[in-house]
């Protein structure tokens, strides 16, 4: 079975190969379509609803879904549909920025650690130290010191996450160091920075992209958990975690207060993980190596 998948693909260009494999899977297509829709919703939120997601109006408190309030109104009389739509913005921004920052930081430190053994022994112990901090406790402490805002949430997500990326990149670099073409570059007197950039970096990108997708999913989830626990974004900010936290005491009366933000949250994380799995299969170094 395996061989038949590889043989025709070997003739194609590598890029074409993994694009074809991504396309081949129905679940992956559905997941990608869902994410594209979500991004569009986040970008064009003001066009989808004219309601203000933070405008409090006690008159509308806990209203049932209707033509005016598609998802009903929350405990403060805010339009739930507007809050969920704007919540997509928050989740995606937090997820993308956190994942991007973790990857960038992890990549930089990982490259240096992997290539320079002296730096490695010091920095990796620092990373071990950071990884031993329990993330929720850290988040609570951080909020207690600086107050709840976007920066603390991002910091609370990135700090425990990026050492994992450092480990991944460092491991890849360590194994690439033994590749004959890297040793050939050393004997051609290629400077270390150019070996890192032109020979090693391109070979770390595929696993990094896969790792990035999983960080993205977990960052979105962490933000929701933090907001739910009250150590995340300020309660008025429309975030799926905040909306669920706000609605949980009225769950039996109005289950929609939890389900309307909860379902998109679950679907988003699921979709990102599905795409991550597909990316991992498609970028499998064993299949992609010789092309």
Interface residues with another protein (CB under 8 A) are: 1-4, 7-8, 179-181, 183-192, 194, 198-199, 202-203, 289-291
Instruction: Give yes or no for a contact between 98 and 217, defined as CB atoms under 8 angstroms apart.
Output: no
Q: How far is the CB of 171 from another protein (least distance, A)?
A: 18
Q: How far is the CB of 191 from another protein (least distance, A)?
A: 7
Considering the complex, state which of residue 112 and residue 217 has its C-beta at the smaller distance from another protein: 112
CA 65/CA 198 separation, integer angstroms: 57
Considering the complex, state which of residue 128 and residue 183 has its C-beta at the smaller distance from another protein: 183
Beta bridge partners of 73: 79
Name which of 8, 37, 33, 35 is nearest 23 in CA terms: 33
Considering the complex, state which of residue 10 and residue 43 has its C-beta at the smaller distance from another protein: 10
Considering the complex, state which of residue 187 and residue 252 has its C-beta at the smaller distance from another protein: 187
Q: How far is the CB of 15 from another protein (least distance, A)?
A: 12
Instruction: Give yes or no for a contact between 158 and 102, defined as CB atoms under 8 angstroms apart.
Output: yes
Q: How far is the CB of 118 from another protein (least distance, A)?
A: 13
DSSP 8-state secondary structure symbol assigned to residue 233: S
Q: How far is the CB of 117 from another protein (least distance, A)?
A: 12
Instruction: Give yes or no for a contact between 32 and 19, defined as CB atoms under 8 angstroms apart.
Output: no
Considering the complex, state which of residue 55 and residue 192 has its C-beta at the smaller distance from another protein: 192
Query: Would you say the C-alpha torsion 208, 209, 212, 217 has a positive or negative sign?
Result: negative
Instruction: Give yes or no for a contact between 110 and 173, defined as CB atoms under 8 angstroms apart.
Output: yes
């Amino acid at each position: 079975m395996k061989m038949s998948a590889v043989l025709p693909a070997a003739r194609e260009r590598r890029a074409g190969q993994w694009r074809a494999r991504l396309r081949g899977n129905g679940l992956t297509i559905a997941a990608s379509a869902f994410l594209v829709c979500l991004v569009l919703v986040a970008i064009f939120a003001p066009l989808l609803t004219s309601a203000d997601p933070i405008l409090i109006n006690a008159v509308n408190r806990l209203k049932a879904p209707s033509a005016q309030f598609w998802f009903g109104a929350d405990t403060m009389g805010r339009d739930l549909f507007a809050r969920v739509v704007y919540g997509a913005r928050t989740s995606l921004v937090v997820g993308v920025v956190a994942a991007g920052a973790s990857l960038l930081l992890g990549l930089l430190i990982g490259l240096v650690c992997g290539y320079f053994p002296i730096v490695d022994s010091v920095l990796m112990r620092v990373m071990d130290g950071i990884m031993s901090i329990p993330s929720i406790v850290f988040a609570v402490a951080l909020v207690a010191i600086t107050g709840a805002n976007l920066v603390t949430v991002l910091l609370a997500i990135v700090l425990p996450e990026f050492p994992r990326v450092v480990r991944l990149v460092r491991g890849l670099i360590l194994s690439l160091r033994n590749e004959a073409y890297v040793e050939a570059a050393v004997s051609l007197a290629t400077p270390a920075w150019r070996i890192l950039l032109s020979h090693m970096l391109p070979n770390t990108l595929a696993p990094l992209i896969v790792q990035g997708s999983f960080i993205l999913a977990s960052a979105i989830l962490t933000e929701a958990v933090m907001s739910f626990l009250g150590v995340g974004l300020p309660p008025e900010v429309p975030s799926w975690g905040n909306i669920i936290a706000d609605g949980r005491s009225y769950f039996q009366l109005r289950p929609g207060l939890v389900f309307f933000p909860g379902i998109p949250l679950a679907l988003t994380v699921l979709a990102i993980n599905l795409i991550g799995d597909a990316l991992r299969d498609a970028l499998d170094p064993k299949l992609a190596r010789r092309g």
